[in-house]
Amino acid sequence: MPIRPKTTTATVIPCMCYRDPNAAIQWLCKVFGFKKHYVVPDETGGVVHAELSFGNGMMMLGPLTKGDWSKLIRQPSDLGGAETQCPCVVVENADVVYRNVKKAGGEIVIDIADQHYGGRSFTCRDLEGHIWNIGTYDPFHPPRPAKRAKKKAAK
């Protein structure tokens, strides 16, 4: 079942490294609903660079290599499962994505729940242990409290 993203404007594009970018691309597309925007293969069928779109947002990913940029990156498995960042993906229905993650064997680290600031969300790990927050709260269009009708005083 495809996930329909809410309409937002993204100007920040997270970049992540994966030991197996091909598997990561397939998992992120199948489970979260990303779409392949641009994928640059290497001569052996691996991935040099990939861009995945989601609504108006995008992420980039590539292989964990010995290059200058990759030397700055550590995988969650190198840090005892810890992360220093977490992409947040705004979806129409967090429950659908939650079920997709569980079905695909992803680890739920914070269970799905309604949030006090609005929306419904959960936090999970992808197939290589990266942490993702998935939810319906859209900071570009936060929920507004309903206006209450004033009661007319009985005469």
| DSSP per-residue codes, 99-142 | HHHHHTTPEEEEEEEE-TTSSEEEEEE-TT--EEEEES--TTS-
Q: pLDDT at position 67, please?
A: 81
Q: What is the pLDDT of residue 33?
A: 96
Ranges of residues in the chain whose predicted pLDDT is under 50: none
- What residues does 59 pair with on adjacent strands? 52
Asked if 36 and 25 touch (Cβ cutoff 8 Å), the reply is yes
Q: Considering the entire predicted model, what is its pTM?
A: 0.80
pLDDT of residue 21: 96
Read off the pLDDT of residues 31-46 as tens digits, 9 standing for 90 and up.
999 999 999 999 999 9
Strands 15-18 and 57-63: parallel
Q: CA-CA distances (angstroms) from residue 97 to 51, 83, 109, 153?
A: 21, 21, 14, 48
- Any idea where the domains of the chain sit in the sequence? 15-69+81-135
- State the Cα–Cα distance between residues 113 and 64, nearest whole angstrom: 34
Contacting residues for 71 by C-beta, under 8 A, at least 6 apart: none
Q: Which CATH superfamily is domain 15-69+81-135 in?
A: 2,3-Dihydroxybiphenyl 1,2-Dioxygenase, domain 1 (3.10.180.10)
pLDDT value for 154: 52
**Per-residue pLDDT, 39:** 97
What pLDDT is stored for residue 153 in this prediction?
53
